[in-house]
């Protein structure tokens, strides 16, 4: 399936010069959405994955249904102050500023093998922060899965050599 055909381009959002890749149109097409989840389910079925991890907020959109489809726990990584229990925190740089993410200290253990999921890889800051939190709990990052990768921003470079899988790549804005 041509997933790119279901991703809307919004020029000059959130600021002039940015070509925003909007996944809401992909989500409106049930076949395209199912294709994403089923492709990843098949990809990770035999890799010994024990948990799916998604970051606020679009990582929840893809991570939760993947965890459900695979019969695995779904681990939330949220913005600072949103998780009620004991947490670890990490601050990281974004394209437009900085952010702090947190994970519950008991969300994963050293025996866990996690796939991290998000909608888009741009500069890599968000996912680098998420991977740091997962590693801090002692879990292994099996792979990082994205629907979209903006290859021209070289986000993989910030991920310390972790394996990355993306379904749609854009080589220019």
The enclosing H or E element of 150 equals strand 140-150
H helices present in 5-55, as ranges = 24-27, 30-44
From the candidates 8, 43, 78, 95, give the one annotated as an active-site residue: 95
Exposure of 85 in the CB half-sphere (CA atoms within 13 A)? 7
Supply 69's token pair. Answer: 């489809």
Q: Is 75 exposed, middle or buried (0-12, 13-18, 19+ CB in 10 A)?
A: buried
* 58 in catalytic set: yes
Structure tokens that stand for 14 in this block: 């959130």
For residue 37, the 8-state DSSP code is H
In whole angstroms, what is the distance from residue 84 CA to residue 114 CA?
22
- Catalytic residue among 8, 58, 140, 156, which? 58
Q: Is 132 a catalytic residue?
A: no
By annotation, the residues acting in catalysis are 58, 95
């Amino acid at each position: 399936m041509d997933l790119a055909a279901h991703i809307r381009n919004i020029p000059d959002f959130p600021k002039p010069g940015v070509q925003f890749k909007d996944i809401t149109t992909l989500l409106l097409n049930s076949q395209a959405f199912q294709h994403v989840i089923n492709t990843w389910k098949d990809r990770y079925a035999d890799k010994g994955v024990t948990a799916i991890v998604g970051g606020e907020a679009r990582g929840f959109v893809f991570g939760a249904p993947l965890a459900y489809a695979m019969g695995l726990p779904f681990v939330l990584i949220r913005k600072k102050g949103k998780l009620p229990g004991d947490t670890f925190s990490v601050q990281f740089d974004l394209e437009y500023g900085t952010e702090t993410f947190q994970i519950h200290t008991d969300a994963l253990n050293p025996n866990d093998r996690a796939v991290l999921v998000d909608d888009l890889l741009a500069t890599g800051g968000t996912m680098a922060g998420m991977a740091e939190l997962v590693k801090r709990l002692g879990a292994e990052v099996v792979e990082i899965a994205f629907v979209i990768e903006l290859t021209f921003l070289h986000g993989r470079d910030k991920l310390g050599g972790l394996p990355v899988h993306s379904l749609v790549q854009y080589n220019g804005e």
